[in-house]
């Protein structure tokens, strides 16, 4: 009989992660936190020293502030970010200017940016676009084909046909199918997730991964370095390697203040043998399958792809995995057959969004759907922290008669983002947008569905973190069989929500409203 996660001696070396205050304080993470705090204290000391000199150079400060304001007004920042930086610099000229230079200089990510640019250039023709497929999409919907051309210019993201898409309305359903697909792996397994946490979900997956390694399957696991703060010990990759699993942390925690912390790998990707892929909002932790309760019932969704489009998720993983590889392998893994599904309907376009380039792919895909919608756009998102352009697109769609409905959490996971979301409610309601809050708990799904014909399911939230600062991914779907299921799930979820009204907004605690108004001035920095 196969041993369980708890009984397997090979698995026990992975348990436990960093648990408890004492362990955290005296761990590597505790040392890093202390060093970071000392650096921040030293920086503020320098700023205070400058502040003491300001009365002596008041005239110079005014001139400097005017120059910075003119510089910001003529910069390429989005208007909302400009307002934030104008406030910061006008209130604290020296500190604000140094902070602005620091965040814009990209300290900590220049090498990564250069490496990713090189990999993108190296792989831009790895997966050729079938002109026949693009023309077929253009015949069905010229607007969707134009969107596909835009996404293609930002990276190697072709649009595919012959791909089955399965929609999972809960994290548990996705997990159960993941286990079945992992058991069937024969050649390689790639996992890239924002959060990995010990428990039933990850434990069952890990059992299969360890078994597959023994069978000769190549297994690669990558997770974001923020896991070291809360869920996993720093040496977890080393522990996995003892089981034969290749493992990397993206942007691990370091003891130096850096913009390194601003860009996180928020993607969720599983690829099996080049023919099956998963993406969506579901991380590898027990709250995502409602095995444990956090913030009430956890509503999340995912999709599974089978067929040609899986190649794009294989490439997305390999690009991130290859950042620190001298000669990363692409062709070997992309050569595995994808087993096209000849009877699959519609078109599938997997894509990524990189915070280190100038393409705001995630936001522009959402805006394009809003601008082309004729009947409805239905949205699920855990956060609502919008820049001016995104808010204008949502409002304009509603004002021209499109049914725009938003489902947001009824029980938030963080107070500050929830307060910020509320600051958008009044203007959206005024334009005719209907807002619903999920009464049973927390919505973590990232879904756009429109007009019974197109949808996006992926990792991209409606907030600055996802739209500007994180590595993200998603699957754009047009005319696939699962789109009615996505819409049906939205409608079923909406039935469990309370609708937000003007009257309800007026009953909010004044302290909560004030928090939102104040935080809105620094929303782009959060």
* Every domain of the chain and the residues it spans: 21-104, 110-347, 361-525
Domain 110-347 matches domain 361-525 at the CATH topology level: yes
Burial of 306-328, coded b for 16+ CB within 10 Å and e otherwise, reads bbbbbbbbbbbbbbbbbbeeeeb
- pLDDT for residue 35: 55
Contact 287, 199 (CB under 8 A): no
Separation between Cα atoms, residue 363 and residue 460, nearest integer Å: 9
What pLDDT was estimated at residue 53?
56
CB 97 within 8 A of CB 60: no
Q: For residue 345, what is the DSSP state?
A: -
Q: What is the pLDDT of residue 14?
A: 54
Q: If DSSP codes are grouped into helix, strand and coil, which group holds residue 97?
A: helix
The predicted structure's pLDDT at residue 42? 65
Find where tokens 């996993």 sit.
232
pLDDT < 70 stretches in the chain = 1-61, 94, 102-110, 253-262, 525-526
What's the pLDDT tens digit per position in 438-497? 999 999 999 999 999 999 999 999 999 999 889 999 999 999 999 999 999 999 999 999
At 409 the pLDDT is: 98
Buried b / exposed e over 43-70, threshold 16 CB at 10 Å, is eeeeeeeeeeeeeeeeeebeeebeebbe
Q: What pLDDT does 469 receive? A: 87
> What pLDDT does 27 receive?
47
Distances (CA, A) of 129 to 6, 154, 314: 47, 14, 16
In degrees and rounded to multiples of 5, residue 470 shows phi and psi of -115, 155
Angle, nearest 10°, between helix axes 79-91 and 93-104?
A: 140
Please report the beta strands in 336-463, taking only residues with DSSP state E, as ranges in sequence order: 347-353, 376-380, 403-409, 434-438, 441-443, 447-450, 454-458
The CATH number assigned to the domain with range 110-347 reads 3.30.870.10
Only one residue has tokens 């790895």, namely 126
pLDDT at 309: 98
Nearest to 46 by CA among 257, 349, 189: 257
Distance CA 428, CA 94 (A): 37
pLDDT, residue 5, reads 45
Q: Which two tokens stand for residue 371?
A: 């601008």
Three-state secondary structure call for residue 79 = helix
Per-residue pLDDT, 15: 52
Angle in degrees, CA 361, 362, 367, rounded to 5? 95
* Predicted local confidence at residue 52, as pLDDT: 60
pTM over 0.85: yes
Q: How many angstroms separate the CA atoms of 419 and 383, rounded?
A: 10
Helix (H) or strand (E) holding 234: none
- Under CATH, domain 361-525 is a member of which superfamily? Endonuclease Chain A (3.30.870.10)
């Amino acid at each position: 009989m196969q041993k369980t996660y708890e009984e397997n001696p090979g698995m026990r070396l992975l348990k436990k992660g960093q648990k408890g205050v004492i362990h955290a304080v005296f761990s590597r993470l505790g040392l890093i936190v202390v060093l970071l705090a000392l650096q921040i204290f030293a920086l503020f000391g320098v700023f205070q020293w400058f502040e003491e000199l300001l009365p002596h150079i008041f005239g110079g400060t005014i001139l400097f502030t005017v120059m910075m304001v003119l510089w910001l007004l003529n910069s390429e920042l989005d208007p909302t970010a400009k307002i934030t930086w104008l406030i910061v610099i006008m209130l604290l000229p020296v500190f604000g200017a140094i902070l602005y230079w620091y965040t814009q200089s990209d300290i900590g990510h220049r090498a990564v940016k250069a490496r990713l640019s090189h990999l993108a250039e190296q792989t831009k023709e790895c997966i050729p676009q079938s002109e026949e497929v693009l023309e077929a999409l253009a015949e069905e919907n010229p607007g969707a084909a134009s969107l596909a051309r835009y996404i293609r210019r930002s990276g190697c993201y072709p649009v595919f046909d012959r791909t089955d898409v399965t929609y999972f309305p809960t994290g548990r359903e996705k997990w159960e199918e993941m286990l079945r697909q992992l058991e069937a792996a024969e050649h390689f397994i790639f996992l890239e997730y924002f959060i990995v946490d010990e428990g039933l979900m990850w434990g069952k997956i890990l059992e299969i991964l360890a078994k597959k390694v023994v069978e000769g399957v190549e297994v690669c696991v990558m997770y974001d370095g923020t896991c070291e703060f809360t869920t996993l010990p720093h040496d977890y990759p080393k522990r996995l390697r003892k089981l034969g699993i290749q493992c990397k942390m993206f942007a691990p925690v370091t003891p130096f203040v850096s913009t390194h912390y601003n860009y996180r790998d928020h993607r969720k990707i599983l690829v099996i043998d080049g023919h099956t892929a998963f993406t969506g909002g579901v991380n590898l932790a027990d709250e995502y399958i409602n095995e444990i309760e956090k913030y009430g019932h956890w509503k999340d969704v995912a999709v599974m792809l089978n067929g040609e489009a899986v190649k794009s998720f294989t490439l997305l993983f390999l690009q991130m995995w290859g950042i620190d590889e001298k000669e990363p392998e692409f062709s070997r893994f992309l050569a595995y057959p994808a087993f096209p599904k000849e009877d699959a309907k519609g078109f599938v376009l997997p894509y990524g969004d990189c915070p280190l380039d100038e393409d705001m792919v995630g936001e522009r895909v959402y805006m394009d759907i809003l601008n082309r919608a004729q009947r409805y756009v239905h949205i699920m998102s855990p956060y609502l922290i919008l820049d001016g352009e995104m808010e204008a697109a949502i409002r304009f769609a509603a004002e021209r008669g499109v049914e725009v409905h938003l489902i947001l959490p009824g029980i938030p996971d963080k107070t500050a983002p929830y307060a910020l979301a509320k600051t958008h409610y009044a203007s959206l309601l005024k334009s005719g947008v209907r807002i619903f809050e999920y009464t049973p708990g927390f919505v973590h799904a990232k879904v756009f569905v429109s007009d019974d014909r197109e949808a996006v399911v992926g990792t991209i939230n409606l907030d600055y973190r996802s739209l500007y600062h994180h590595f993200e991914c998603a699957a754009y779907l047009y005319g696939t069989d699962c789109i009615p299921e996505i819409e049906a799930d939205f409608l079923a979820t909406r039935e469990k929500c309370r609708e937000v009204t003007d009257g309800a907004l007026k009953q909010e605690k004044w302290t909560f409203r004030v928090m939102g108004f104040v935080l809105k001035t620094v929303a782009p920095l959060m």
